[in-house]
């Protein structure tokens, strides 16, 4: 991995991933791309709509990249509102990116999600290989995407790799319309108003992870010795299993007057209830050494400090 093209580079993950990749591989060796224009000019950037495969191919070829990290997607909550558009972007964009990787012989990374599981999946310590019958358009896209990445590896020898991300928590770019977005909003509201109204109900557990762990996972997996990878795509990775009241409890250690109330959104609550409570990430640990550094306490301390500093 020496020269990398990132799609969806201005999103919640991409905006921090590009910065981290540039520190490691050099600014000129990381090409950010997105359908939106970037506001600050801090390195090579191209407008690319991933549903336009020819444009993606020509930008990858022109910059002579050896790796593509494909992040452009429509997330779970938005995908339920416009499911056909989610299919076109999530599946159309993915196959275009995989085709570019096949034609130009590139290493390939794309994230799947806990959304790839469904109500019939075992909820606690969800195994790496288990039942996947999701009930959302996003989940359908993610399962199909996992299989498509496996297919490109087995059929064409493309070096595809990927993880199943839990809900990601970060303070640089706001999340883009997922079901776990509340776990970011709660910190901003704690700093700004000392109160938060959660659209996810009490006692609803989901897996979460702090962005530094999510970014380290990408770098580690992409640099891992391929001989050790039995799974390649869609590794379960996990750090924190939490419900809204767990965030409130941690926040109160720093802001004692913080209050949490509930106004449940049935659409996002339904999605949340169809997802696992916690994942078993032992395959990722065994095959490429994954280990999360942040628990909910350490993450809360850092989130509150960084948001207050803005």
Ligand X SMILES: NC(=O)c1ccc[n+]([C@@H]2O[C@H](COP(=O)([O-])OP(=O)(O)OC[C@H]3O[C@@H](n4cnc5c(N)ncnc54)[C@H](O)[C@@H]3O)[C@@H](O)[C@H]2O)c1
- If one asks whether residue 36 binds ligand X (CB under 6 A), the answer comes out as yes
Query: Distance (Å, rounded) from C-alpha 135 to C-alpha 120?
Result: 10
Residue 300 is a binding residue for ligand X (CB under 6 A): no
Query: Between 145 and 287, whose beta carbon lies closer to ligand X?
Result: 145
Sole window of 33-41, 100-108, 153-161, 197-205 interacting with ligand X (rule: CB under 6 A): 33-41
**Do 141 and 90 contact (CB within 8 A), yes or no?**
yes
204 vs 258, beta carbon nearer ligand X: 204
* CB burial of residue 201 (10 Å; 0-12, 13-18, 19+): middle
Closest CA to 112 of 142, 81, 156, 155: 142
Which of the ranges 28-36, 121-129, 225-233, 287-295 carries the binding residues for ligand X, by CB under 6 A?
28-36
Catalytic residue among 138, 182, 205, 294: 138
With beta carbons less than 8 A apart as the criterion, state whether 194 and 255 touch: yes
**What does DSSP assign to residue 38?**
P
Instruction: Please give the size of the binding site for ligand X, defined by CB under 6 A.
Output: 28
Give the nearer residue to ligand X in terms of CB position, either 51 or 259. 51
Pick out residues in 232-271 that bind ligand X (CB under 6 A).
none
| Residue 29 in contact with ligand X, rule: CB under 6 A | no
Phi and psi at residue 196, to the nearest 5°:
-145, 140
Q: Is 138 a catalytic residue?
A: yes
| Count of helices and strands (H, E) across the chain | 11, 14
Q: Which stretch binds ligand X (CB under 6 A): 12-20, 197-205, 228-236, 295-303?
A: 12-20
Q: Please say which residue, 36 or 298, places its beta carbon nearer to ligand X.
A: 36
The answer to whether the CB of 59 falls within 8 A of the CB of 31 is yes
Pick from 4, 6, 14, 207 the residue near ligand X by CB under 6 A. 14
């Amino acid at each position: 991995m020496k020269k990398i093209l990132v799609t969806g580079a201005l999103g919640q993950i991409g905006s921090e991933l590009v910065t981290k990749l540039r520190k490691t591989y050099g600014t000129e060796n990381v090409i950010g791309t997105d359908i939106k224009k970037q506001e600050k000019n801090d390195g090579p950037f191209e407008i690319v709509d991933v549903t336009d495969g020819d444009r993606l191919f020509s930008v990858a070829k022109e910059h002579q990249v050896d790796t593509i990290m494909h992040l452009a997607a429509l997330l779970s909550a938005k995908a339920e509102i416009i499911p056909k558009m989610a299919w076109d972007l999530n599946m159309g964009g993915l196959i275009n990116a995989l085709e570019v990787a096949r034609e130009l012989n590139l290493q390939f990374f794309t994230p799947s999600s806990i959304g790839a599981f469904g109500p019939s999946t075992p909820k606690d310590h969800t195994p790496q290989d288990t039942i996947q019958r999701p009930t959302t358009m996003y989940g359908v896209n993610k399962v199909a995407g996992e299989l498509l990445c496996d297919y490109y590896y087995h059929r064409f020898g493309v070096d595809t790799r990927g993880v199943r991300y839990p809900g990601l928590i970060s303070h640089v770019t706001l999340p883009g319309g997922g079901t776990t977005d509340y776990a970011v909003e709660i910190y901003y509201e704690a700093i700004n108003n000392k109160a938060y109204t959660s659209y996810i109900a009490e006692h609803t557990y989901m897996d979460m992870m702090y962005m530094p762990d999510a970014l380290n996972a990408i770098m580690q997996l992409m640099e891992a010795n391929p001989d050790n990878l039995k799974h390649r795509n869609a590794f379960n990775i996990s750090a924190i299993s939490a419900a809204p009241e767990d965030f409130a409890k941690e926040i109160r250690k720093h802001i004692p007057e913080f209050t949490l109330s509930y106004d449940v959104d049935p659409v996002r609550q339904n999605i949340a209830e169809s997802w696992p409570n916690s994942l078993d990430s032992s395959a990722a640990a065994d095959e490429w050494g994954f280990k999360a550094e942040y628990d909910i306490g350490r993450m809360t301390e850092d989130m509150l400090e960084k948001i207050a500093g803005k």
